[in-house]
Amino acid sequence: MSNELVWDRPEPPSKPSPTPLSRELIVNAAIRLADEGGLDEVSFRKVAAALNAGPMRLYGYVETKDELLDLMVDEVYGEIALPDPGTDWRAALTQIAHGIRTAAKRHPWLVDLLGGRPHRGPNSLAHIEASLATLDGRPEFPTIDHVLGAVSAVMAFVRGAVGSEIAEAREERSSGMTEEQWQAASGPYMQRMLATGKFPTLAKVMFEAEHTNAEPWFDTGLNYVLDGIATRHSPA
C-alpha cells in the first residue's frame, strides 16, 4: 500500500505490446465510456475491454479506481481554457465559471466527482492558480485572505449551480421528457403536492415562472456573487 498520490508516481515505461497502454489511453477510454453511459459504465473490466486488455493490466498504471476517477477529473480540467493573464478579474472569473459549466455539460459525470474529493492534479492546480492570480495584487484585495475568500465563493457557487443544473438535465433526459412535458406530467405526485396548498410559492414558480434556458439563471447567480464581491471590495 503506497501512500503516494497518483501524481507522484511516474508512469511505467511503455513496453512493446500488441495493444500499448498508457495512462492517457486509459483515462481517455474511461472518459469516453462515462460520456456515453454515465459513471456506471466506468469499471475496470469495461475500460480494459475497450482497450483490448485484461482488467488487471490497468493496475500497472493506476493503483485504484479512485485514482482513475481523479485522473479523469484532472483531464477535464485540462480541457478548460484559462483566461489570459491581465484580464479584468470579473471577466476572468466569469470565463472560468463558464468554462467549468460547459465542461460539465460535455461530461455530465463530472458533477458526481466534483463533490467527492479535493482535486490536486496538475491541471486542477493550474486552474486554482489562475483563479487566484487574477485577483492577487489588485488593490481591491489587499490580503491573500480576501483573494481566497472571493475565489472560494465563486467556485462554491459554480459547483453548486452546475450540480443542480446537470442533475435536472439528467432527470429530464432519463425520463425522456421536455421541460414542459415534465411540468405537465411530473408524475401525479407533484400535482397532488401542489394541490394541497401547502406550497403556494412553489406552485407559483412552477406555473408562472418563465422557465427559459438554464443559462440565464447561471449568469444571474454568478453576477450576484461577483456584485457582492465588488461592492465589499470597492472604496466605500
| Residue 149 near residue 94, CB atoms below 8 Å | no
Interacting residue with a copy of itself among 42, 73, 92, 161 (CB under 8 A): 161
Q: Which residue number, 69 or 93, has a Cβ lying nearer to DNA? A: 69
Stretch 9-38 residues interacting with DNA (CB under 7 A)? 12-13, 15, 17, 21
- Least Å distance, CB 127 to DNA, is 26
Convert residues 96-135 into a mask of x (bound to a copy of itself by CB under 8 A) and - (unbound): ---------------xx-xxxxx-x-x--xx-xx--xx--
Q: Which residue number, 23 or 127, has a Cβ lying nearer to DNA? A: 23
- Least Å distance, CB 124 to a copy of itself, is 11
| Residue 61 near residue 20, CB atoms below 8 Å | no
Tell me which residue of 158, 166, 29 sits closest to 94, measured CA to CA.
Answer: 158
Q: Which residue number, 26 or 194, has a Cβ lying nearer to a copy of itself? A: 194
Cell numbers placing 145? 485572505
Stretch 61-90 residues interacting with DNA (CB under 7 A)? 64-66
Instruction: Look at the alpha carbons of 78, 19, 30, 56 in this order and tell me if their dihedral is positive or negative.
Output: negative
Interaction between residue 187 and DNA (CB under 7 A): no
Interaction between residue 136 and a copy of itself (CB under 8 A): yes
Q: Which residues bind DNA (CB under 7 A)?
A: 12-13, 15, 17, 21, 42-46, 53-57, 59-60, 64-66
Q: Which residues bind a copy of itself (CB under 8 A)?
A: 3-5, 7-8, 111-112, 114-118, 120, 122, 125-126, 128-129, 132-133, 136, 144-145, 147-150, 152-153, 155-161, 163-164, 167-168, 170-171, 187-190, 193, 198-202, 204-205, 208-210, 217, 220-221, 223-229, 231-232
